[in-house]
Amino acid sequence: MARVLSVLCGRNAPQSVACPPASRSLLLIALAPKPAPGAAQPRDKSLRHVVPVPSDQGVSRTRKSLSDSPPSSPSPTAKSFRHDRASRLDSGSSTGDSATDRLLGRTSSYNRRENRLASLNKADDDTITKDYKKMYEHALAENEKLKSRLEDSKQELAKIRSQLEKVTQKQDRISERSSVLETEKREKRVLEKKVSEMEEELKVLTELKSDNQRLKDENGALIRVISKLSK
């Protein structure tokens, strides 16, 4: 700023000395920021034209007049330009604030969405965990039921095996008995046969005894007859 004033008002000009209105207007126009696209244009039509740059003679005259004349007050054009600039700065600050608010709103909405997604993911994880827990508990219950059924089946199998062993033992005893009975039957048949043979022999013996007795009787009779005849 001081360098520009030194150029426009003279390099050796003191800082307390004010520049002429034309130089000050040129300085303010040069230092004024460019309006943003779509921003309102200044209402003062006098600021729209380009202020001509003073020549070297004009600068020297201006220096001389500044050295001779007291400091002058700002012109109405500079005041209106300053007012417009301040209003533009205020509008720019309000625009910046609105942009900041929009950015903060977007950030907060993004954070809310992230939090909502995180809560949904957490809820899904909790649901999946609960489902897996239920499935695990159901599987444990099924395993317990199967274990109890297996124990019952083992007990029933042991009972059936004991019954089968008893039946096989009975069958063995029955078979043994049947074999004994068969042997007894064979022996009985043999004995019956022997008895019948002995009965036949007894019959023959009785007949032989009777024949022998008859022969004895006849022999005695003959002996008596012979003895009589011999006398």
Segments making up each domain of the chain, as ranges = 2-73
Q: How many CB atoms lie within 10 A of CB 4?
A: 14
Min mean pLDDT across 10-19, 153-162, 169-178 is at 10-19
Among residues 77, 79, 92, 93, which one has the least CA distance to residue 35?
92
CA–centroid distance for 208 within its chain: 115
Confidence band, pLDDT 50/70/90 cuts, at residue 160: very high
In angstroms, the Cα distances linking 103 to 39, 81, 94, 98, 127 are 21, 32, 14, 8, 35
Alpha carbon distance 203, 180 (integer Å): 34
Query: pLDDT by residue (tens digit) across 206-229?
Result: 889 888 998 988 888 888 888 888
User: Rounded to two decimals, what is the model's pTM?
Assistant: 0.29
Query: pLDDT by residue (tens digit) across 166-199?
Result: 888 888 888 888 888 888 888 999 999 999 999 9
